[in-house]
Amino acid sequence: MSSRLLCRLWLPFIVLILVAGRADAAETDKYLPDDTNGVISLNVRQVVDSPLFKKTYLPQLQQQLKGQADLYKQLQAIGFEPFRDIDRALLAFADSCERPGGKAEPGFLLIFHGKLDLAKTHAKLAELAPFLKQALKIQKSGANTIYEIAGEERNFFFALPDRNTLVFAPRREPVSDALERGAGKKKLALKNKEVAELIAKTDGKQALWVVATGGTTLSFESVLTGPKGNKTEQMARKTLADSGVYEVSGGFWLTDNVKAAFGVKVQTTQAARAVSDALQAELAKAIDKGFDGTLDDPRFSPVREFLKEMVIAGDGKHIVIQSEVAGRVITNSVK
């Protein structure tokens, strides 16, 4: 029996799993911005420790890191090993994290959890700052420290709110807020209760999981507003809800194989058909053209297999996207 037929037979059960609460639910991170609309969480520790990753990618990545001699030396100086000391990475989407001025882009807060030597890390950054001139600025926030990195088009801010956490954002305020959370001066107060509900329904054992509400910003579009003959250009926010999507949840499981299942809840049955048809069309185009030959490289054979095995099916206002890649396909792609 084909995997596509199995997916269709199991569709009602998959929908139930994606919308029901779970005993092994993921936890709501205390450093999420209060106006978080969507979260992507990667269990780095689980991925790195998996036999599949250790066998295929870990040796190559370790070799590449050691090949960056200066970076590797600095990481050793603060006692930090990326493939050993990072536990989880979260990307939170929140309007309050949008950088002021400049090109309008969705706001985000990046959260790393792991093992950090705060004293060594702060000392190393203080040592490097004079040599980096304007590229790295050190700012005080009460008893804490915020670091500003100057880029070509924008600046970023990061801080270490506790010995297990680093936060990074395109504006200072959410980073400063995280420092107060770390000091116990503030607590998480999610404005969008749907985010907490979606996280509570998420399988915490997934290597990667995603939740997003209709309020999640996808992009900004330029529009003309005002009276005829005197129109001005403004940036209009485009959200998931504008596409008819009410919420998204799901993720990847990493075992001997890589499995994925995502649920998309839309506002109407008509929207379900429209979104499903659009996804089917994009999938067919990707498989047919292989991203203009990019997927012809043997290293991308797992991606090709993932797309070929992908099934998109709908049930009322729910759309389920499911696929699976055998571990041997991934192992063979790096030989």
Average pLDDT (308-332) is: 87
Are 172 and 199 members of one domain? no
User: What is the residue-wise DSSP string for 189-206?
Assistant: --S-HHHHHHHHTSBTT-
- DSSP element (H, E) containing 129: helix 118-132
Are 121 and 1 members of one domain? no
The answer on pLDDT for 89 being more than 90 is: yes
The answer on pLDDT for 5 being more than 50 is: no
Q: Which of 123, 151, 186 is the last residue of a domain?
A: 186
Binned at pLDDT 50, 70 and 90, residue 228 comes out as confident
161: domain range?
46-186
Amino acid letter, residue 109: L
Binned at pLDDT 50, 70 and 90, residue 93 comes out as very high
Q: Which pairs from 296-300 meet CB under 8 Å and 24+ separation?
A: 298/333, 299/333, 299/334, 300/333
Average pLDDT (92-100) is: 91
pTM of the model: 0.88
How many structural domains compose the chain?
Answer: 2
Residue 60 covered by a domain? yes
At residue 13, the pLDDT reads 43
At residue 107, the pLDDT reads 93
Residue 40 covered by a domain? no
Quick one: tokens of 178? 């995280």
Are 205 and 258 members of one domain? yes
At residue 3, the pLDDT reads 43
Are 238 and 268 members of one domain? yes
- Read off the pLDDT of residues 272-307 as tens digits, 9 standing for 90 and up: 888 888 888 888 877 776 666 666 778 888 888 888
- Read off the pLDDT of residues 9-49 as tens digits, 9 standing for 90 and up: 444 444 444 545 455 778 999 999 999 999 999 999 999 99
Quick one: tokens of 49? 């420790």
Alpha helices in 133-291 (DSSP H): 172-182, 193-200, 269-289
Residue 164 covered by a domain? yes
Contact 39, 199 (CB under 8 A): yes
Are 120 and 252 members of one domain? no
Residue 139 covered by a domain? yes
User: What is the residue-wise DSSP string for 275-292?
Assistant: HHHHHHHHHHHHHHHTTT
Q: Which of 186, 219, 243 is the last residue of a domain?
A: 186
Q: Which of 186, 201, 230 is the last residue of a domain?
A: 186
Partnered with residue 155 across adjacent β-strands are 150
- Read off the pLDDT of residues 110-143 as tens digits, 9 standing for 90 and up: 999 999 999 999 999 999 999 888 899 999 877 8
- DSSP element (H, E) containing 330: helix 327-333
The answer on pLDDT for 190 being more than 70 is: yes
Q: What is the number of H-type helices and E-type strands within the chain?
A: 12, 14
Residue 39 covered by a domain? no
Are 305 and 175 members of one domain? no
